[in-house]
């Protein structure tokens, strides 16, 4: 199901030239990944709508893809994720109440299908995430995977929103420092 | 890279997704005008994106792709799909009554004779659109902006691009344009690509498009 980055880049180039067959192939190769991203942030009805909008945008903007800024899949996932976040913020605050006790979002990355594409970038990011305090790491991952807002995190971790903001920014600054070292 | 710490934090949180609706909208607007902020957000998106790539796959519901295809930019649709799309806009768009009325006008007054073509020039449902009808027998076309308003000092201009020919202006699109004559052969009218560009007020001074088209589409017949 998961195509190599070079194949995806070639497909994107054809999509930029409005090649319908290439677009169809790109959808087949990437939609389960993108749906996996948006369906963790939104309910399924909204996720399906957002997935449609994301691919319409990918069709329109395929020419903007820049290999210097990450893999084709990362670029597409970012489009889908941003759209999902806009939708999540628009409709209602995200509740983390349905997360089971002891839920550790990092466990969601234990996907055998993903192991092939675990890049150096992924390894470096995980290594730096592991340096954060467990609670702070869990917050960053809940935000990334589940689209948790500051407010939702504040409820979940029983802390003022302002404190959560401070924690998030400090954690992200640490992450950036670690990744560039 | 000389972003102040507050904006750097804002860029990071935008990419992470923890901002509320108002903050997200404000950052999305600012990044259009502030290249440094935009670059910082992109850098954060790239930094965090390995997480998205590692996320488990989940098969989307069937039928999603055909709905995507029906929404592609410059798509020319048959009337049934077009009506369905109007219904979707009506449900989805704020202030949609005027939009539906505008589309309804075209549908109601143009009951699809055999050589009538309809084009909806649009990139995505939340962007401006133009509804265009072409009567190939009479070599006439009508076009009207639907939820599209050119910036104050600009005009939208419609172009016909026949295969391997330079774009030819069909004139500026204002509130009610058409029907206007098409000075082209029938075959070319049918095969051509239609494009809309943003031009200085009153239309391109050079007779050529000033920039890349903001919308484009081809015709397919309505009905049999």
The residue in chain B having the minimum alpha-carbon distance to the alpha carbon of residue A177 is B47
**B143 band by pLDDT with thresholds 50, 70 and 90:** confident
Query: Rounded to two decimals, what is the model's pTM?
Result: 0.59
Could you tell me how many CB contacts below 8 A there are between chain A and chain B? 170
Same domain, A84 and A127: no
Measure the CA–CA gap between B63 and A141, rounded to whole angstroms. 31
- DSSP type of residue A69: G
Please say which residue of A91, A115, A144 terminates a domain.
A91
pLDDT at B179 over 50: yes
- Let me know if residue A97 belongs to a domain: no
- Let me know if residue A76 belongs to a domain: yes
Cα A107 from chain centroid (whole Å): 15
- Let me know if residue A24 belongs to a domain: yes
Helical spans, DSSP H, in chain A: 5-16, 20-38, 44-61, 72-91, 120-131, 134-146, 150-156, 161-180
Length of chain A: 181
- Whether residues A168 and B60 touch (CB distance < 8 A) is answered with no
Q: What region does B207 belong to: left with phi over 0, alpha with psi -120 to 50, or beta?
A: left
- Let me know if residue A96 belongs to a domain: no
DSSP-assigned letters across all residues of A1-18: -PPPHHHHHHHHHHHHTT
Same domain, A62 and A115: no
- Mean pLDDT for all residues in chain A: 83
- Let me know if residue A110 belongs to a domain: yes
Q: What region does A102 belong to: left with phi over 0, alpha with psi -120 to 50, or beta?
A: left
For residue A62, what are the domain limits? 5-91
Same domain, A16 and A86: yes
B49 touching A (Cβ < 8 Å): yes
Q: Sheet containing B177-181: which strands, arranged edge to edge? A: B116-122, B129-135, B140-146, B177-181
Which has the higher per-residue pLDDT, B123 or B202? Answer: B202
The residue in chain A having the minimum alpha-carbon distance to the alpha carbon of residue B88 is A49
B4 touching A (Cβ < 8 Å): no
Measure the CA–CA gap between B221 and B224, rounded to whole angstroms. 7
pLDDT at B112 over 70: no
Tokens in use for A20?
């319908």
- Tell me the nearest-neighbour CA distance from A9 into chain B, angstroms: 15
Same domain, A84 and A133: no
Please say which residue of A41, A61, A91 terminates a domain.
A91
If one counts the domains in chain A, the total is 2
Most confidently modeled range among A33-37, A91-95, B176-180: A33-37
- Let me know if residue A137 belongs to a domain: yes
Tokens in use for A9?
């880049």
pLDDT at res. B53:
85
Q: State the angle between helix axes of A161-180 and B35-53 in degrees (0 to 180), rounded to the nearest 10.
A: 80
- Let me know if residue A100 belongs to a domain: no
User: What does the pLDDT average to over B141-152?
Assistant: 70
B94 touching A (Cβ < 8 Å): no
Assess contact for A3 and A23: CB atoms under 8 A: no
- Let me know if residue A118 belongs to a domain: yes
pLDDT digits (tens, 9 = 90+) for B72-111: 754 433 444 444 444 444 444 333 333 333 333 333 333 3
- Whether residues B51 and A74 touch (CB distance < 8 A) is answered with no
Checking DSSP bridges between strand B140-146 and strand B193-200, what pairing results, if any?
Answer: unpaired
pLDDT at res. A142:
92
Using a 10 angstrom Cβ sphere, with 0-12 exposed, 13-18 middle and 19 or more buried, the burial of residue B151 is exposed
Same domain, A87 and A11: yes
Closest partner CB to A48 (pick from B50, B60, B125): B60
Same domain, A72 and A116: no
B24 chain-A contacts, CB cut-off 8 A: 85-86, 89
pLDDT at res. B223:
43
| In chain A, % of residues over pLDDT 90 | 61
Closest partner CB to A89 (pick from B13, B21, B65): B21
pLDDT at res. A94:
42
- Whether residues A36 and B58 touch (CB distance < 8 A) is answered with yes
Closest partner CB to B46 (pick from A52, A69, A73): A69
pLDDT at B56 over 60: yes
Same domain, A53 and A110: no
Same domain, A175 and A126: yes
- Whether residues A32 and B54 touch (CB distance < 8 A) is answered with no
pLDDT at A138 over 60: yes
Please say which residue of A91, A122, A155 terminates a domain.
A91
Same domain, A125 and A52: no
B149 touching A (Cβ < 8 Å): no
The residue in chain B having the minimum alpha-carbon distance to the alpha carbon of residue A122 is B50
Q: What is the ipTM of this complex?
A: 0.86
- Tell me the nearest-neighbour CA distance from B200 into chain A, angstroms: 24
């Amino acid at each position: 199901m998961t195509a190599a980055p070079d194949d995806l880049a070639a497909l994107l180039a054809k999509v930029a030239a409005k090649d319908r067959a290439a677009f169809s192939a790109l959808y087949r190769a990437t939609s389960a990944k993108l749906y996996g991203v948006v369906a963790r942030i939104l309910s399924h009805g909204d996720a399906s709508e957002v997935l449609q909008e994301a691919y319409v945008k990918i069709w329109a903007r395929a020419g903007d893809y820049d290999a210097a800024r990450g893999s084709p899949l990362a670029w597409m996932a970012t489009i889908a994720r941003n759209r999902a976040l806009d939708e999540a913020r628009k409709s209602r605050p995200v509740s983390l109440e349905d997360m089971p006790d002891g839920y550790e979002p990092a466990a969601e990355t234990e996907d055998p299908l993903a192991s092939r594409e675990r890049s150096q970038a992924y390894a470096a990011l995980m290594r730096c995430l592991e340096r954060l305090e467990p609670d702070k790491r869990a917050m960053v991952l809940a935000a990334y995977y589940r689209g948790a807002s500051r407010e939702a995190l504040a409820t979940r971790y029983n802390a003022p929103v302002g404190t959560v903001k401070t924690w998030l920014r400090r954690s992200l600054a640490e992450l950036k420092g670690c990744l560039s070292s | 890279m000389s972003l102040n710490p507050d904006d750097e934090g804002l860029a990071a949180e935008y990419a992470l997704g923890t901002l509320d609706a108002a903050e997200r909208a404000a950052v999305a607007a600012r990044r259009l005008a502030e290249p440094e902020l935009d670059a910082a957000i992109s850098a954060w998106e790239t930094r965090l994106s390995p997480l998205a790539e590692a996320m488990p796959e989940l098969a989307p519901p069937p039928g999603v792709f055909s709905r995507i295809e029906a929404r592609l930019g410059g798509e020319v649709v048959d009337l049934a799909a077009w009506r369905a799309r109007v219904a979707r806009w009506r449900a989805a768009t704020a202030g949609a009554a005027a939009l539906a009325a505008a589309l309804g006008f075209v549908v109601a007054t143009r009951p699809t004779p055999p050589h009538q073509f309809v084009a909806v020039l649009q990139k995505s449902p939340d962007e401006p659109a133009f509804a265009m009808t072409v009567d190939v027998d009479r070599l006439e076309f009508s076009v009207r902006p639907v939820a599209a308003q050119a910036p104050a000092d600009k005009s939208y201009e419609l172009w016909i691009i026949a295969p391997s020919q330079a774009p030819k202006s069909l004139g500026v699109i204002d509130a009610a344009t058409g029907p206007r004559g098409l000075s082209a052969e029938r075959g070319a009218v049918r095969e051509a690509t239609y494009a809309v560009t943003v031009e200085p007020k009153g239309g391109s001074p050079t007779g050529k498009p000033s920039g890349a088209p903001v919308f484009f589409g081809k015709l397919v017949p309505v009905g049999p």
